[in-house]
Structure 1
């Protein structure tokens, strides 16, 4: 289940320097996460994605937050309480701070990043349930981002003139390692959703080192480009994410 949400977060930008005209300060998207259990697609968790403004002493930032929570009837089977958040420049979505705090079946882990884009480094602090901490500074590339800011970045680009098959290699920092993946634009498709029938941009995600596709995402073909549906393959099965509601959209 957790890998379903994680793969959803990996569906990211086709280029790296667009300005944000799609994402506002008070957006909330809610999804149902399902997993194929013994051939039956079962709703297991709720995923929410929210944006809020944060005023610091130096600048106004945009907080990007994603939470994954199993429905109460599944907590005894495998309880999930995951939080991912990134504090970014509202225009470029360049990250400054990142926090990952997970509780998955009793396994706890917290990872914090502080980005220094001038020096191309990230100060990382990993904290476990016992309070044990490990601090490391890692080097990153010019365009490396965390997983949340990368996810939102895809929505800032003009996809209207892309040809099917257009792809882009991108880099994210996850568990202190830079991971390279390939996003491919597949074309347009109209699908039914809980918020109405939507014409969408269809995008696939795969490994940069192979042609294996691990996920497909549908983004609304409008100025907001919100994710409304996702399908994923993981080592132990398949899963889906379906939008339940959307509010506070910028456009």
Structure 2
């Protein structure tokens, strides 16, 4: 496995569904989600947690979200991961103001803070490892965590099989166009029982981590919460699976 495995898990959680509706319904302050990650179908690789709370930033009420991930069990002895991501975004538009990333993945470390200036359409990136600051022009972008909440909150009832949706994600001083293809609906057998889901396939870059451009599949709950409940990915070596393990503080009933 490469250092980007847990990073991609957060990406998969962040990239689900998109439309034009802008009223928060899918989540609320106090929501907490925990994911179990498995390598090659049986070996527990780690854990990822996502949580959101209402707070204040520069005198404005915002949502503060945290995404943390770490390896465990046997995997931890070969490849230790300890990641923390934080995003502060507008409650109504779900547009990011501040994004923090502090990771240690097998000795690869990154510590950055990105401030989004919506008036000038710039992102100001402070890199504490490289000890340099960078300003980049951006327009209508999401960070890795704000994207998760922005996309979950959208209406997808009119999507048809084969439809593709897109969003721009800002990460590592770059803008990454991300496409997602709707595969249809499926009843998924999970630890919570049979769950009605929407199935998506993100188009990812092949070669370094994944076997092919279309090697990842995501299952989203087909309800008002739109929770990513499962992800399966074929890696260059082995496979990775992430499954919802526990939750609390949901905004809507989990059917």
TM-score, normalised to structure 1's length?
A: 0.89
Which of 185, 192, 203 is matched with 1:206 structurally? 203
Structure 2 CA distance for aligned equivalents of residues 250 and 164 of structure 1 = 28
Residues 1:16 and 1:5: Cα distance change in structure 2 (over 3 Å): farther
Aligned residues: 243
Per the alignment, residue 169 of structure 1 pairs with 166
Q: Which residues in structure 2 correspond to 1:27-176 (within 5 Å)? A: 27-36=31-40, 41-128=42-129, 132-141=130-139, 143-176=140-173
* Cα RMSD for the two superposed structures: 2.1
Structure 1 segment 190-205 matched on structure 2, within 5 A: 190-205=187-202
State whether residues 45 and 73 of structure 2, in contact with CA within 8 Å, keep that contact through their aligned partners in structure 1: no
Taking structure 2 as the reference length, the TM-score comes to 0.88
Per-residue deviation, 1:70: 1.2
Q: 1:77 to 1:8 in 2, by over 3 A?
A: closer
Asked whether the equivalents of residues 7 and 215 of structure 1 are also in contact (C-alpha less than 8 Å), the reply is no
Unaligned ranges ≥5, structure 1: none
Task: Give the one of 18, 23, 30 matched to 1:19.
Answer: 23
**How big is the shift at 1:152?**
2.0
CA separation of 1:79/1:207 partners in 2, compared to 1, >3 Å: closer, same or farther? closer
CA distance in 2, matches of 1:151, 1:234: 23
Structure 1 residue 207: Cα displacement:
4.2
CA gap of 1:17–1:110, structure 2 versus 1, over 3 A, is farther
Tell me the distance in 2 between the aligned counterparts of 1:164 and 1:190: 16
Secondary structure of the residue aligned to 1:60 is strand
